[in-house]
Amino acid sequence: MNKNNLKITEKIIQYTEGRMNNSEKIEFEQELSDSEELRKQLEKYLTLSGEIKKIKNFITDETYFASILPRFRINQEKQRKLKLIPGLALGAALAAAVILFFTITTTEISEIQNGDSLTFSETEIDSLIKNYPDYTLFEAENEDTYSEYVEDIFIDELNISAQSLDSLVLYSSYSSYLDLFTEISDEEADLIYKQVINKELF
């Protein structure tokens, strides 16, 4: 960039903006009359200023300016909704977490109630058995109790009446069910059970 041009431009701006004192102004006007280059530069500057004035007074599409504020308000509303979405998502996540917590807690309670996953000390087991309404069943040592118990099973599960039961070989062959429990294996018991099931009893 030509340093001389920059100096000339500076003088032109100060002159046109009225920032020169009287002596500076007289000196500049003298230079103007002497220098063709300065006159050309001043002319260009005035052309530029004229064009700038023109474009400041353009007729523009006023509907655009009328639309700025409504569009801002719409965008603002969208932004507000966008801010709400993470809030809603957080709320939903919290609700889901609460539901999940209660589901897990309820499942655990039902498991506890079913006794599936409990471990007890021996004293706790004794206490539970004693408080269990049918604990006498587990403590019973005489065969009559077992006989009654097995009879009930026959009646309930095999749908056999007490009278029919008397005629069964199985029932009469074993006087002690305790022996029956100790003498046969589980497989044998299953086999007998299946045979009894398939047998035409009545």
Q: Does 72 bind other proteins (CB under 8 A)?
A: yes
Question: What does the block give as tokens for 31?
Answer: 């230079």
* Contact (Cβ atoms closer than 8 angstroms) between residue 16 and residue 53: no
Instruction: Provide the residue type at 38 as one letter.
Output: L
Q: Does 188 bind other proteins (CB under 8 A)?
A: no
Instruction: Provide the residue type at 81 as one letter.
Output: K
Question: What does the block give as tokens for 113?
Answer: 């109630």
Nearer to other proteins, 8 or 160 (CB): 8
Question: What does the block give as tokens for 96?
Answer: 């889901």
Output the smallest distance, CB 89 to other proteins, in A. Answer: 23
Question: What does the block give as tokens for 192?
Answer: 């007998």
Q: How far is CA 59 from the centre of its chain?
A: 55
Output the smallest distance, CB 68 to other proteins, in A. Answer: 5
Output the smallest distance, CB 110 to other proteins, in A. Answer: 53
Site for other proteins in 29-58 (CB under 8 A): 41, 44-45, 47-49, 51-52, 54-56, 58
**CA-to-CA distance for 38 and 13, rounded, in angstroms?**
12
Output the smallest distance, CB 12 to other proteins, in A. Answer: 8
Which residues form the interface with other proteins (CB under 8 A)?
A: 1, 5-6, 9-10, 13, 41, 44-45, 47-49, 51-52, 54-56, 58-61, 64-65, 68-69, 71-72, 75-76, 79
